[in-house]
Chains A and B, each alone.
Chain A
Amino acid sequence: MIPKIALFSFCQRLYALPVEVVLHILSSPRVFPLPLLPSGVEGVFLFKGEAIPLADPFLEGGRPAGEQGEGFVVVCGTENGLLGLKAEQVLQIVDREQGSLEKIDVLEDIRWADLRFVHRDREYPVLNLENLVASLPDNIIKDPETRSVPAGSRRLG
């Protein structure tokens, strides 16, 4: 049961998170790139001395830097550790009863969202962070010229 839902926007798209996974919201921390990151992961930022990965909630890598927008980083807890999600706007936190939660039956454009929250006629995919993290190894950046996976990265198994 999700008691409260936090609503965000990023790049003119909406998304939602159960408030219990949201630990902090930071304003534009400095982001450091690292090699061999999955597409959609911009780099890491330091939070309480720990290097935390920063991801686009829709894992759409390659967007020109000027379109990424300044804004906020939502620090979330996952089973594998902390993860930052980019947000342009923190819209509001609402009680679950203020809208309706619907199961997403078919694969939509965000395959790590299995619920949508409908609030005031707007639909917010509710991100399942464990699914998002699990999808990262499929999203390794390929060299734009050769379309090959960089030499240093290998998927286990």
Chain B
Amino acid sequence: MSVGDEMKLVFRLGRLGFALGVNDLVEIREDFLGFLDPSSEKTSPLQLGSLPHRGDNIPVYDLKELFGLTGSGAGQALLVVTAASEPWAVVADRIEGIFPGSEFESQPLSLVLSSGMTRPYDTLDIWRGEPLVLCETGKLQTCWEWE
């Protein structure tokens, strides 16, 4: 297990908790639904549409679909992240907040679960007694390109 220095955003999809390093986070928007264009050209089946962002159109991806989560409810917040130079966005159901890296203890997903399978995550962050899925933008980027 390791404790990092980087502050992390904690968000939820349904009741599941996720963590994202703020170094990869560009912006959090709550007013995005009216701006999301679902009819735009999609480069991945996981793409919900595109969104104007700082003079450009960026793809918005469906994290719930990627993680096999069903359940209704439009997301309440849009997280704009950047991997390499191209920003993209995902939708979260709820934002818990941004917390110091010292509150998180990272550990690899148990080999019992990871042996023989590949998933869009392989690390958990233990935060306040709760295991969170650590979202690594490079790994997610690979998933968008996979599809």
A interacts with B = yes
Residues of A within 8 A of B (CB): 32-38, 41, 44, 46, 49-53, 78, 80-83, 133-134, 136-137, 140-141, 143-145, 150-157
Pair B16/A136 contact, Cβ less than 8 Å: no
Choose one: B109, B112, B126, B129; the contact of A136 (CB below 8 Å).
Answer: B112
Pair A80/B115 contact, Cβ less than 8 Å: yes
Pair B116/A155 contact, Cβ less than 8 Å: yes
**Given A151-B65, A154-B118 in contact, is the A44-B131 Cβ separation under 8 Å?**
yes
B138 touches A (CB below 8 Å)? no
Interface 1/0s, chain B 64-85, versus A by CB < 8 A? 0111111000000000000000
Choose one: B109, B112, B117, B126; the contact of A154 (CB below 8 Å).
Answer: B117
Residue in A closest to B130 when the chains form the complex, CB atoms: A32
B124 touches A (CB below 8 Å)? yes
| A-B residue pairs in contact (CB < 8 Å), sample of 25 | A32-B130, A32-B131, A34-B16, A34-B131, A35-B13, A41-B113, A46-B126, A49-B126, A52-B110, A81-B111, A133-B115, A141-B68, A145-B70, A151-B65, A151-B66, A151-B143, A152-B66, A152-B119, A153-B68, A153-B118, A153-B119, A154-B117, A155-B116, A155-B117, A155-B118
Choose one: B1, B45, B121; the contact of A49 (CB below 8 Å).
Answer: B1
Pair A35/B105 contact, Cβ less than 8 Å: no
Q: B52 to chain A: closest CB distance in Å?
A: 26
Q: B66 to chain A: closest CB distance in Å?
A: 4
B87 touches A (CB below 8 Å)? no
Residue in A closest to B64 when the chains form the complex, CB atoms: A35
Give the top 7 A-B pairs by smallest Cβ distance, nearest first: A150-B68, A35-B67, A80-B111, A137-B116, A152-B120, A152-B66, A51-B131
Pair A33/B15 contact, Cβ less than 8 Å: yes
Which B residues are CB-close (under 8 A) to A154? 117-119
Q: B94 to chain A: closest CB distance in Å?
A: 16
B91 touches A (CB below 8 Å)? no
B147 touches A (CB below 8 Å)? yes
Complex CA distance for A136 and B116, rounded to whole angstroms? 9
B51 touches A (CB below 8 Å)? no
Choose one: B68, B109, B129; the contact of A46 (CB below 8 Å).
Answer: B129
Q: A38 to chain B: closest CB distance in Å?
A: 8
Choose one: B69, B126, B130; the contact of A35 (CB below 8 Å).
Answer: B69
Which A residues are CB-close (under 8 A) to B10? none
Pair B16/A33 contact, Cβ less than 8 Å: yes
Pair B130/A36 contact, Cβ less than 8 Å: no
15 new A-B pairs (CB below 8 Å) besides A46-B126, A151-B143? Answer: A33-B16, A34-B16, A35-B16, A35-B67, A36-B68, A36-B120, A38-B113, A50-B1, A52-B110, A141-B68, A144-B70, A154-B117, A154-B119, A156-B116, A156-B118
